[in-house]
Structure 1
Amino acid sequence: MTETNNGSRAAGAALIAGGGVFFAAEFIAAAAWTDPPYSYTHHFISNLGVHGPVTAFDQFMYSPLAWVMNTGFILFGVLTLGGVLLLRGLPGRRRVVMIGTAVLLAAGGVLVGLFPGSGDDGTADYHGLGALLAFVFGNVLAVLIGRAHRFLGITRGLGRTLVACGVLGLLSIGAFAGTLASGAGILIGLAERGIIYPFLIGFIVVGAALQRRVRT
């Protein structure tokens, strides 16, 4: 197997693992939060990283397995950056821009994981910065990967899907901010997931496509 194929296979595995770790950590941490049950539509994702019990930002936070979610945040960022670094076939300028974007995304994941958003420890600003970096640059990265489809050996249709995922996520930032500013808190958790889930799923699908391309 050529070095290029090895790199593509490793890149695909890292992208799959990055998204998979996030979803697995979220599911495990949410399942452990039972009194009262965690709500995917009402609670912030970051709440899963706060052990508590504490009330902040008008939400009760009590995550018995907060360390699982915080580890997931960090590993997601690091693995996604690793996947981008391992991508093969990108021209120099595209590669630099994509790696820079992935670095900012990874920094966001690490900040969110290291500084839980409970608001009671003086680190809320770091957490907020990390969330903003992850929100914006995760979706920008999806757009960049989608637009580079011909260099990466993935289909044009999948490339367009990745671009659509990124655009949807960026638009969802506005919906999330509007819901947050209103103070109503209605479906705020769902609005936040509209920012993150599309690009996470996109990374997993691209990773799987790279794996299939290598095998064939």
Structure 2
Amino acid sequence: MDTHDPEPRRAAWSALVAGPAVYLTAEFVAAAAWTDPPYSYTHHFISALGVRGPATAFGQFMLSPLAPVMNAGLVLFGVVVLVGVLALRLPAARRLPVVAAAVVLAVGSAVVALFPGDGDALDSGAADHHALGAFGAFTAGNALVLLLGAAHRPLGISRGRGRALVALGVLGLAGMVGYVALLAAETGVLVGLVERTAIYPFLAGLLLLGLALRRAARRRENGLVNGNGLVATGSTTTR
């Protein structure tokens, strides 16, 4: 495989676009079903959407009628993103850390889904698994977009988009620090909002990369760059 070929694989961009879409759709559907009282994106933990309930844990009342939707979405999200990353064409030196981050993201997301953060988890000790999975996924997701941004050249995307990915990764890691600080303070004020500042940036980064790779693929499909490395401009072809 020529790792310097900028042509992205269809599977890569499709999965990188689909992954965040799966997560956000599952989150929206589960949140919409939580109506009494309504789920709050600023107050409630994200993982509360995976708790069928009724239960009270971590200072929050949890009652998510479509908890299986959220948990299935978490697992599917991690798997789809991992598939997308595995389909990327990267040099071996860059590929290893990128794939490792994607694996940790997928495993962490699955652990969060399999060990919901409810009252039973506190009693059984499964809350430790839940927390480990969540912070592993947060860290790996943001590290992943940082690494992908740094690999903009072999990925065949612009330097500007690479910098945007790096910025989103940094923003997500900063959000994670803020989230940990908020948990340590035990205030619970806007905890749902702050938690999302650790997650939404890397979701946006994966989506941005997927769309950039899709654009590159479409350019090649439309004949703007042919197999001989010639660029077609109107009725002429130039090197």
Output the TM-score relative to the length of structure 2: 0.86
Give the CA deviation at 1:31: 0.1
Give the CA deviation at 1:107: 0.6
**1:54 paired to 2:65:** no
Tell me what 2:177 maps to: 174
Tell me what 2:226 maps to: none
Tell me what 1:99 maps to: 99
Give the CA deviation at 1:158: 0.7
**1:209 paired to 2:212:** yes
Alignment of 1:49-198 (within 5 A): 49-88=50-89, 90-121=90-121, 122=124, 123-198=126-201
Give the CA deviation at 1:8: 1.9
Contact map agreement 1:32 1:63 (CA 8 A) in 2: yes
Greater gyration radius: 2
**1:31 paired to 2:50:** no
The 2-side partners of 1:141 and 1:6 are apart by 20
Task: Kindly indicate which of the two structures has a greater share of residues assigned to helix.
Answer: 1
SS across alignment from 1:120:
helix
Calculate the aligned-residue CA RMSD, in Å. 1.4
Give the CA deviation at 1:119: 3.6
Unaligned runs of 5+ in 1: none
Larger mean CA deviation between 46-55 and 8-17 belongs to 8-17
Contact map agreement 1:5 1:214 (CA 8 A) in 2: no
Give the CA deviation at 1:6: 8.0
SS across alignment from 1:186:
coil
Contact map agreement 2:6 2:155 (CA 8 A) in 1: no
How many pairs does the alignment contain?
213
The 2-side partners of 1:49 and 1:28 are apart by 12
The 2-side partners of 1:119 and 1:136 are apart by 25
Give the CA deviation at 1:7: 5.5
- Give the letter for the 1:50 counterpart: V
Tell me what 2:10 maps to: 9
Deviations 1:43-78 (A, max 9, x none): 000000000000000001000000000011101111
- Give the letter for the 2:36 counterpart: D
Contact map agreement 1:108 1:133 (CA 8 A) in 2: yes
Deviations 1:174-216 (A, max 9, x none): 1111111112111100000000001101101110111110110
The 1-side partners of 2:18 and 2:198 are apart by 19
**1:43 paired to 2:44:** yes
The 2-side partners of 1:6 and 1:178 are apart by 42
User: How many percent identity over aligned positions?
Assistant: 58
The 2-side partners of 1:86 and 1:137 are apart by 18
Deviant stretches of 4+, over 6 Å: none
